[in-house]
Amino acid sequence: MLKNTFSHLTRIGPKREAALWRNAIFSWEDLLSALDTNNRFTRGIAPPVRQELKDSLAHHAARNARWFAGKLPPADTWRLFPDFQGSAAYLDIETTGLNEPGNPPDITTIALYDGNTIRWYVNGENLDDFKKDIRQYQLLITFNGKTFDVPVIESFFHIRMDQAHIDLRYVLKNLGYSGGLKACEQKLGICREDLDGVDGFFAVLLWDDYRRRKASKTLGTLLAYNIADAVNLERLMIMAFNQKISRLEHVSVDRLPEPVEPLLPFVPDMATIDRIKRQRFQTFRY
């Protein structure tokens, strides 16, 4: 899809891009050839485009996702996915909850999935390992990560995460799926089963409970929830991509296959969930 894309070029918007596709100019090489032959369908294209196409080919060969992310309109960043799927990190964090403005929360756990390997990080244990591990990925995929996960991570660790970034909150909203992550999952037929009803605030309660009790089942339940968030991002990304390409006219792009669900390292403890649900109800029923 990325090499079919022209929206990152000077003064080429959706209408001109569609016109190029309609006239069998489907790739960067096609457009370069059309410019060289003074094809009538390329008249009016800005002079810098020729160099931008050569730069595009060079950065694609160098696997530089960040360069494209800086050029693409925000609505088109989903097009990065197939070309950089092998260097993508599905990322989700849990925190101590919202604090006062200007006072970001502490990170409690982080789940990181790359389509093959699941990694998890726990405050007080191995949280600092995340800073090294995340550097190996070129593309971040989150839900609401541009306004929450990434800024919180950067503030907490005092680092800069400058990878290319696809925030599925905006991609899915553009497809008509609004609401939070769980709401979007439900609309797309993804079931949480034992974790149904567990949300971000519940994750805060799980961490508080773990800090008091030091119970491995409580931490395991929190990690099961956190990891489910990260793993489900892969399915959502592929579903969103396939829906996006189905809406394109004049250009044919192959659908991506459904991902293979990984073996999850933690399972939620239902007794813990039921206990905290009762405590939550008793605390907030008035």
Nearest to 25 by CA among 1, 52, 4, 50: 4
Interatomic CA distance for residues 119 and 276, integer angstroms: 26
Helices H / strands E in the chain, number of each: 12, 5
Interatomic CA distance for residues 152 and 75, integer angstroms: 23
Residue 198 placed within a domain: yes
Q: Are residues 134 and 258 in the same domain?
A: yes
> Cβ(232)–Cβ(172) under 8 Å?
no
Q: Are residues 109 and 22 in the same domain?
A: no
Q: Give the chain's residues under pLDDT 50.
A: 286
* Per-residue confidence (pLDDT) for residue 196, from 0 to 100: 85
Interatomic CA distance for residues 272 and 277, integer angstroms: 8
Residue 69 placed within a domain: no
Residue 78 placed within a domain: no
* Per-residue confidence (pLDDT) for residue 286, from 0 to 100: 45
Residue 72 placed within a domain: no
* Per-residue confidence (pLDDT) for residue 101, from 0 to 100: 66
What's the CATH code of the domain at 256?
Answer: 3.30.420.10
pTM of the model: 0.94
Residue 117 placed within a domain: yes
Per the DSSP assignment, residues forming a β-bridge with 92 are 111
* Per-residue confidence (pLDDT) for residue 280, from 0 to 100: 75
Q: Are residues 119 and 198 in the same domain?
A: yes
Nearest to 123 by CA among 163, 99, 103, 96: 96
Nearest to 226 by CA among 266, 253, 193: 266
**For residue 217, which amino acid is it?**
K
Residue 70 placed within a domain: no
Handedness of CA 251, 254, 255, 259 (dihedral sign): negative
Q: Are residues 178 and 54 in the same domain?
A: no
**For residue 76, which amino acid is it?**
D
Interatomic CA distance for residues 244 and 222, integer angstroms: 33
Q: Are residues 199 and 250 in the same domain?
A: yes
Interatomic CA distance for residues 175 and 131, integer angstroms: 33
Domain stops at, among 62, 92, 114: 62
User: Quick one: angle between helices 216-246 and 200-213, nearest 10?
Assistant: 160
What's the total number of domains in the chain? 2
Q: Are residues 135 and 251 in the same domain?
A: yes
Question: How many CA atoms does the CB half-sphere of 159 hold within 13 Å?
Answer: 15
Q: Are residues 277 and 148 in the same domain?
A: yes
Nearest to 18 by CA among 33, 30, 7: 7
Q: Is 67 helix (H, G, I), strand (E, B) or coil?
A: helix
Q: Are residues 188 and 153 in the same domain?
A: yes
Question: SS in 3 state form for 93-153?
Answer: EEECCCCCCCCCCCEEEEEEECCCCEEEEECCCCCCHHHHHHHHCCEEEECCHHHHHHHHH
* Residues of the domain holding 170: 83-284
Q: Are residues 57 and 88 in the same domain?
A: no
* Per-residue confidence (pLDDT) for residue 40, from 0 to 100: 81
Interatomic CA distance for residues 243 and 26, integer angstroms: 20
Q: Are residues 161 and 208 in the same domain?
A: yes
* Per-residue confidence (pLDDT) for residue 20, from 0 to 100: 95
Residue 163 placed within a domain: yes
Residue 67 placed within a domain: no
User: Quick one: angle between helices 270-284 and 200-213, nearest 10?
Assistant: 110
Q: Are residues 260 and 170 in the same domain?
A: yes
* Per-residue confidence (pLDDT) for residue 107, from 0 to 100: 97
Q: Are residues 32 and 159 in the same domain?
A: no
Q: Is 165 helix (H, G, I), strand (E, B) or coil?
A: strand
